[in-house]
């Protein structure tokens, strides 16, 4: 076995390991969602693009006969991405918007399936190599979308000064995994693997930089929201200026709220005090 063959074998193994880690890299974020019973600021795009991109990779790897490591890791990505998307839908408060994303991704995957079947049957007039090239271009587009998906909330991150909406673990593993695939792509001379993963390494690095600039803020037990209630104007001299009443409300976090709700059963009605309306 030549040195080149040995290097290819080594990076086949390395890419399999790092890609498996990439496929499950969202689990820490989903564990946090499970505890909070909420998706928070997280976007559904990383989940959707994970299974959609990997589904396309399955077609490409089959056409170019790259079963190990490409097809194997892509199939795992389809399964893990779909499972994560289901749980995201379960915990999100924006089910209608998430369902729209699911429908769009489903249509795209259906079109990919139709093209793949028609091309492999020879009905498009393309050669086997030409079909692989077309699928490769689509892989580049979808892969760049996958790697850029954690940055879909970049404007929100800069505005709120926190990277809570960015999956940190996915960003770290993304950089490592992309680098390994870049080396593998150079060894096997596959431009359609090289380009998206080079983009992934770059975008992942930008995400990590943003994470360090705007570190994730730990959720607090509650947030205090202050408001000023302005009463109605009357014709009297003393009320020429609007009457105002300050109000502070503590909004507990979901975890804190669940603990307090269990205690509320023991609170008697006499403990509740009616507050006078500013208009009174």
Tokens linked to 42: 């997280």
Look up residue 167 and give its DSSP letter: -
- Each residue of 237-266: pLDDT tens digit? 343 433 444 444 444 444 444 444 444 444
* Range picked from 103-107, 227-231, 271-275 for highest mean pLDDT: 103-107
Q: Is residue 215's pLDDT more than 90?
A: no
- Name the residue among 239, 240, 242, 238 with its Cα closest to residue 230: 242
What lies within 8 Å, CB to CB, of 201 at 6+ separation is: 174, 175, 178, 179, 182
Quick one: pLDDT band at residue 31, thresholds 50, 70, 90? Answer: confident
Whether 69 has a pLDDT exceeding 90, the answer reads no
3-state DSSP percent of the chain in helix, strand and coil, to 5:
70, 5, 25
At 49, phi and psi to the nearest 5? -70, -25
CA distance 136 to 128: 12
Residue 164, pLDDT score:
74
- Summarize the confidence of residues 33-54 as an average pLDDT: 86
Nearest C-alpha neighbor of 89 from the set 246, 267, 81 = 81
pLDDT interval class at 152 (50, 70, 90): low
**Taking all residues of the chain, what is their mean pLDDT, rounded to a whole number?**
78
DSSP lists the bridge partners of residue 226 as 248
Whether the pLDDT of residue 5 is over 90: the answer is no
Distance CA 58, CA 46 (A): 18
Residue 10 has pLDDT above 60, yes or no: yes
Helix (H, G, I), strand (E, B) or coil at 225: strand
Q: What is the DSSP secondary structure assignment for residue 69, as one 8-state letter? A: I
What is the structure's pLDDT at 2?
A: 75
Phi–psi pair at 228, nearest 5 degrees:
-120, 125
C-alpha to C-alpha distance for 14 and 143, rounded to whole angstroms: 19
- Predicted TM-score (pTM) of this structure: 0.67
Range picked from 18-32, 67-81, 213-227 for highest mean pLDDT? 67-81
Q: What is the pLDDT of residue 85?
A: 94
Tally: H helices and E strands in the chain? 10, 2
* Helix ranges restricted to H, the chain: 3-23, 27-36, 45-63, 72-91, 95-120, 128-148, 154-160, 168-188, 191-213, 254-263
> Which among 168, 51, 28, 135 is positioned nearest to 101, based on CA atoms?
51
pLDDT surpassing 60 at residue 137: yes
Query: Which one is predicted more confidently, 269 or 63?
Result: 63
Q: Is the pLDDT of residue 225 over 60?
A: no
**What gap in Å lies between CA 253 and CA 221, rounded to an integer?**
5
**pLDDT given for residue 82 in this prediction:** 93
pLDDT tens digit sequence for 76-131: 999 999 999 999 999 999 999 999 999 999 998 999 999 999 999 999 999 988 99
Ranking 17-21, 64-68, 118-122, 270-274 by mean pLDDT, the lowest is: 270-274
């Amino acid at each position: 076995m030549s040195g080149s063959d040995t290097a290819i074998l080594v990076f086949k193994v390395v890419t399999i390991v790092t890609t498996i880690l990439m496929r499950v890299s969202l689990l820490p974020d989903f564990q946090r969602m499970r505890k909070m019973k909420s998706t928070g600021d997280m976007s559904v795009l990383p989940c959707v693009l994970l299974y959609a991109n990997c589904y396309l990779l399955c077609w490409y790897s089959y056409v170019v006969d790259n079963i190990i490591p490409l097809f194997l890791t892509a199939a795992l990505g389809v399964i893990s991405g779909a499972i994560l998307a289901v749980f995201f839908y379960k915990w999100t408060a924006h089910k209608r918007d998430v369902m729209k994303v699911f429908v769009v991704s489903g249509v795209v995957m259906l079109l990919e399936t139709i093209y793949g079947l028609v091309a492999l049957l020879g009905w498009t007039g393309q050669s086997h190599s030409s079909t692989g090239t077309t699928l490769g271009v689509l892989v580049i587009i979808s892969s760049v979308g996958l790697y850029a998906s954690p940055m879909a909330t970049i404007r929100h991150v800069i505005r709120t000064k926190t990277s809570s909406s960015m999956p940190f673990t996915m960003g770290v593993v993304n950089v490592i995994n992309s680098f390994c695939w870049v080396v593998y792509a150079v060894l096997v001379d596959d431009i359609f693997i090289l380009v998206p993963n080079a983009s992934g390494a770059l975008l992942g690095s930008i995400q990590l930089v943003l994470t360090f600039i705007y570190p994730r803020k730990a959720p607090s037990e509650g947030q205090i929201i202050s408001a000023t209630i302005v009463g109605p104007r009357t014709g009297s001299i003393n009320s020429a200026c609007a009457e105002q009443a300050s109000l502070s409300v503590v909004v507990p976090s979901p975890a804190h709220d669940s603990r307090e709700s269990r205690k509320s059963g023991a609170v008697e009605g006499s403990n509740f005090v009616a507050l006078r309306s500013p208009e009174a």
